Amino acid sequence: MDKPVIVTVDDDPGVSRAVARDLRRRYGQSYRIVRADTANQGMDSVREMRLRGDDVAAILADYRMPQMNGVEFLEQAMDLYPHARRVLLTAYADTEAAIQAINVVDLDHYMLKPWDPPEEKFYPVLDSLLDAWQRADRRESDELRVVGARWSARSYEVRDFLSRNQVPYRWLLADSPEGAQLLAAAGEELEGEDCEVSPARLPLVVTSEGVKLTAPDTSTLAAAVGLSTAPATDFYDLIVIGGGPGGLGAAVYGASEGLRTVMVEQHASGGQAGQSSRIENYLGFPDGVSGAQLADRARRQALKFGAELLTARTVTSLEVKGQARVVGFADGGSIAAHTVILATGVSYRRLTAPGLDDFVGRGVYYGAAVTEAPECRDREVYIVGAANSAGQGAVYLSGYASRVHLIVRSDGLEKSMSHYLIEQISQIPNIEVHTGTEVVGAEGDDHLERLTLKGPEGERPVDAEWLFVFIGAEPFTDWLGDTVERDRKGFVLTGPDLTAAESRPRNWPLRREPYHLETNVPGVFAAGDVRADSIKRVASAVGEGAMAVALVHRYLEKT
């Protein structure tokens, strides 16, 4: 077993080294000491440890840091390691802030610097906290194990599903000693003596209770890890379809205002935004927040107010039956409600270059694929896209990869990417932007090994094992059929000019009525990216989700 970790973060290099030195002197035999000189570097290290399945025993953060103060750092870190002991390092002048932080982040201790000698003022405090950590029930470190092949698409899908749903797990390669032992044990139990689990039945998922699942489908996996998949009743005031920012906003506001609310999500809370490695322009997070963190907080907020959240359920139909709006599922089940909010968002468009489809999940990934980032360390990666999501992915992966190649079909980033991201990218030496370039081919054996790029100088092959794609947006609305009116691209039409929308001139201004979120079906509303003419931003999607709930109230008052 790897040693548990003690993390220390301080932006003063001299102090940072001194803290790490004192920690190693006392605890180096039993704990691994990880030191960071900036808050952002510290958060990147904590996230990477979470993905690897490392156990963090204590986090020590300096209060005064320029990127984020120690309280903000500990607040973000506790989302990933809720059982870790939290210590704030302060100067005498900061003691009042430290005392307030006890209520904000459930601080375990604040410690004045300097603490010479450590034997009297430092070690006794840490001894007590680490002893309490050792005695605490931390079953999540054992949660479940996933055994699979490195370049298996289904293994990637399982890991991605667990990560996006904030389910901790340990990833084991099938040819590792522990992975081989689990496969052998599962083979004997599932198929008889001297049998093995065949590669076709990977990945193997072993829960903390010892239940073994071979190549489980998503709904089976969701139920096994404790995610809610079955509705508590068959009729609600409000059904929210989609768990992205718009859907989460609607679920929070609907449930908090007393509506019997259920949110249905096919994959994981957060939607496309939940895959973002860092969102830096969202109100209230001056130092940025990952999409996963934002989604997890919103999910917990919705649950706190009493909303039901169903995961791994695919919606296939919407019918009007009198005053009821009936939502059908792929497995044949259904639920009904007085009102429905469509918040299914959008998905990344597929690249059509020959060979790419053969490597999806085996070197080609649509979205951030944060689970793959540590595997890219010291390697070259390629990213296709020119909008904010591609820029955020490039900045994030630059912390792992030796070089990040950003492939942009247009002649620049200015038309589609926020200024702050363009500035960041220009200052990161290992990001290279290739304008006027596109991917036109892919090759490999069991995984992606080569790409063909077409640029101003013609076509050229490049060695590549990782390609991340962030292009365009396709709404998930085909399942609506003729029930709800949509535009030519599939986006849901709302407002009084539904019928006229198709014939509007190309330069027609956006509708200025902020509350026109109702579709052609009374009681059915649309919010966020799935809605035609919406502003594709996280904040606007959340706002539309909240506004749609206000319209739900108006509708219910009239019926």
pLDDT recorded at residue 99: 65
pLDDT of residue 507: 47
Cα 556 to Cα 558: distance, rounded to the nearest angstrom: 5
Length of the chain: 559
Residue 384: the pLDDT is 96
pLDDT for 369 equals: 67
CB-based contact 173:150 (threshold 8 Å):
yes
Question: How far apart, in Å, are the Cα atoms of 80 and each of 77, 134, 214, 398?
Answer: 5, 18, 28, 22
Nearest to 241 by CA among 168, 334, 166: 334
Q: What is the CA radius of gyration of the chain?
A: 25
User: Of 5, 107, 1, 109, which Cα lies nearest the Cα of 47?
Assistant: 5
Q: How many C-alpha atoms does 308 have within 13 Å on its Cβ side?
A: 21
CB 265 within 8 A of CB 313: yes
pLDDT at 92: 65
Neighbours of 533 (CB within 10 A): 15
| N- to C-terminal Cα separation, the chain | 62
3-state secondary structure of 22: helix
At 490, list the tokens.
């599939």
Structure token pair of residue 445: 């054996």
Distance CA 305, CA 257 (A): 9
pLDDT at position 540 is 92
Strand partners, 468: 365, 383
Q: What is residue 485's predicted lDDT score, i.e. its pLDDT?
A: 94
pLDDT the model gives residue 100: 64
Q: Find out whether 521 and 485 touch, Cβ atoms under 8 Å.
A: no
CA distance 140 to 37: 29
Q: What pLDDT is stored for residue 357 in this prediction?
A: 94
For every residue of 136-173, DSSP letters joined together read: S--GGGG-EEEEE-TT-HHHHHHHHHHHHTT--EEEEE
What b/e readout covers 134-171, taking b as 16+ CB neighbours within 10 angstroms? eeeebeebebbbbbbbebbbbbbbbbbbbbbbbbbbbb
Which residue's structure tokens are 């892919």?
442
Q: Which pLDDT tens digits describe the chain residue by residue (559 residues)?
A: 478 999 999 988 888 898 999 999 999 999 999 999 998 899 888 888 876 778 899 999 998 888 788 888 888 888 778 889 998 888 766 666 666 666 555 678 888 877 778 888 889 989 989 988 887 755 444 568 999 998 899 999 999 899 888 888 889 998 888 888 788 777 644 444 444 556 668 899 988 777 889 889 999 999 999 899 999 999 999 999 999 999 999 999 999 999 999 999 999 888 878 777 778 888 887 777 788 888 888 999 999 999 999 999 999 999 999 999 999 999 999 999 999 999 999 888 899 999 999 999 999 999 866 778 888 989 999 999 999 989 999 998 998 999 999 999 999 999 889 999 999 999 999 999 999 999 999 999 989 999 999 999 999 999 999 999 999 778 989 999 999 999 999 999 998 645 444 444 444 444 434 458 999 999 999 999 999 988 888 999 999 999 999 999 999 998 8
Give the start-end residues of each E strand in 255-331.
261-265, 308-311, 315-321, 324-329
